[in-house]
Amino acid sequence: MKKILLLTHVSPPAVDGGSRVIVKTAEYLKKIGHQTLLISSNAYSTDNFTHHYRATAPSRHRAILLPVYTIFHKPLKLISKIFPIISVFAKGPIFKIIPFLHTLLSVIRYRPDLIIAGPLPTTIVLYARFIKFVIRNCKLIIVPCYHPTDPDFHNKLLLNTLKSADYIWTLTDFETNYFNKNLNIPKSKLLNIGNGIDPYLLTAAPSRHRANVLLYIGSLAQHKNIESLIAVHQQLLSKFPKLKLIIAGQKTLYYPHLQPLLKLPNIKVIFNFKTNALSRLLDHSSILVSPSTQESFGLTLIEAWARKTPVVTSDIPASSELINKSKGGLIGLNNIETLLLNQPLSQKLGQNGYNYVKANYLWPNIVNKLCQKLL
């Protein structure tokens, strides 16, 4: 049995794909007998640290939710425009000093064998590097969830921390090759383990005909490019008058910009839906659409495939890689109409995606890969 410390910037029920990797890893490591301690902020979302949960919470694994300072984030965002090196501190979290020091003492007594931290571009990896320096005899693995087109990911302080890690957990071939070729990180440090889903999502996945419903799942952030999806949906209403668009996710600071668009015809918005509603949403949707301009992986894609739901994505490296490997969807929002008109193709793509996910992306298998390499 190993002692493992996991750090991330938000914990469920906040929605964030990078944090979910950390939290799920903790959950499944605990199931197979390892001792885990999870530390995160008590923030409600990844871009708004003004709403908090209570400082500690019970969990299936040991968890500490640390309170954060909120007063610094807006000033730091302004200052970082002049001094980009400090942009990471504008992303947060900035833990309150006394609770963090108390937690650090607990970590020292805990003496982890391995630290798993992420994602970028947040202060979490800086905390992890500091804790590793204090503990000394432990390994650090960072899960960056890298967006190469996002300037925040190119912060020198973050990249130096990334390079200092003992291992880097990558999610795609693209990410692995990018780090190796562009950042000169040796492949021996790069562990292409991927992301995962819970096996229960595969249970009784339907293959029936689905109603004309487009589904988006994710945060309502600017880089998710929801405006483009809404524009395509409104155009398609001339050919498919009953076509509904469901947008399910979590508000962000960008939400006020989207509000007028969300009131357009045949659009339904669902905020903070419970995990057990995920299967139902996917089962009653024709297509899962991911219009994002930045993704490190595309968790919603493999969740959709677990329910035999075909997907349409924007043409970005991570999403395109998953589509090309799985044959479970089409690239380009213009292909939404293609799938709406071709039910046999839609069913075939959904089945392809299901087979691919079942073989490659279940959490027990992901964690077993991690243990084979490191534990």
Answer whether residue 345 shows pLDDT above 80: yes
Domain match, 337 and 285 both: yes
Residue 225 CA to residue 308 CA, distance in Å, equals 24
Could you say which of 192, 208, 243 is where a domain stops?
Answer: 192
DSSP line for 236-247: HTTT-TT-EEEE
54 vs 313, residue with greater confidence? 313
Domain match, 10 and 102 both: yes
**Residue 56 pLDDT:** 45
Report pTM. 0.91
Domain match, 320 and 204 both: yes
Domain match, 138 and 221 both: no
Domain match, 325 and 260 both: yes
Domain match, 15 and 108 both: yes
Non-local (6+) Cβ contacts of 306 within 8 A are 197, 201, 202, 205, 282, 354, 357, 358
Domain match, 288 and 331 both: yes
Q: Could you tell me if residue 224 is inside a domain?
A: yes
Q: Could you tell me if residue 373 is inside a domain?
A: no
**Residue 60 pLDDT:** 46
Number of other residues whose CB lies within 10 A of the CB of residue 156? 10
**Residue 97 pLDDT:** 94
Q: Residue 215 pairs with which residues in a beta bridge?
A: 246, 288
Per the rule left: phi > 0, alpha: psi between -120 and 50, beta: everything else, 247 is: beta
Answer whether residue 75 shows pLDDT above 90: no
Q: Could you tell me if residue 286 is inside a domain?
A: yes
CA atoms within 13 A on the CB side of 180: 15
Which burial class, exposed, middle or buried, applies to 66 when counting CB atoms under 10 A from its CB (0-12, 13-18, 19+)?
Answer: buried
Could you say which of 192, 212, 228 is where a domain stops?
Answer: 192
Q: Could you tell me if residue 367 is inside a domain?
A: no
**Residue 83 pLDDT:** 82
Answer whether residue 366 shows pLDDT above 60: yes
DSSP line for 21-85: HHHHHHHHHHHTT-EEEEEEE-BSSSS-TTSB--SB---SSEEEEE-B--TTHHHHHHHHTT-GG
Q: Could you tell me if residue 73 is inside a domain?
A: yes
Domain match, 216 and 150 both: no
Q: Could you tell me if residue 67 is inside a domain?
A: yes
- C-beta separation of 295 from 147 below 8 A: yes
CB burial readout 313-329, b (16+ within 10 A) else e: bbebbbbbbbbeebebb
**Residue 105 pLDDT:** 95
52-61, 69-78, 164-173: least confident range:
52-61
Structural domain harbouring 349: 200-360
Number of domains in the chain: 2
Domain match, 182 and 327 both: no
Could you say which of 192, 208, 235 is where a domain stops?
Answer: 192
Q: Could you tell me if residue 371 is inside a domain?
A: no
Domain match, 239 and 277 both: yes
pLDDT digits (tens, 9 = 90+) for 153-165: 888 899 999 999 9
Note every long-range contact of 331-336, with CB atoms under 8 Å and residues 24 or more positions apart, other chains counting: 333/228, 333/229, 333/232, 333/289, 333/291, 334/232, 336/214, 336/232, 336/236, 336/287, 336/289, 336/312
Quick one: which of 286, 279, 282 has its CA closest to 244? 286
- Please, which pLDDT band fits residue 343 given cuts at 50, 70 and 90? very high
**Residue 373 pLDDT:** 84
**Residue 203 pLDDT:** 80
Residue 192 CA to residue 169 CA, distance in Å, equals 6
Q: In the numeric block, which tokens belong to residue 335? A: 């292909």
**Residue 92 pLDDT:** 77
Domain match, 187 and 229 both: no
71-80, 176-185, 263-272: least confident range:
71-80
Domain with residue 335: its CATH number is 3.40.50.2000
pLDDT digits (tens, 9 = 90+) for 253-291: 889 999 999 999 999 999 877 767 889 899 999 999 999
**Mean of pLDDT values over 322-342:** 96
pLDDT digits (tens, 9 = 90+) for 51-69: 666 544 444 456 898 988 8
Q: Could you tell me if residue 118 is inside a domain?
A: yes
3-class DSSP assignment, residue 142: strand
**Residue 10 pLDDT:** 84
Averaged pLDDT score across all residues of the chain: 89
Domain match, 179 and 56 both: yes
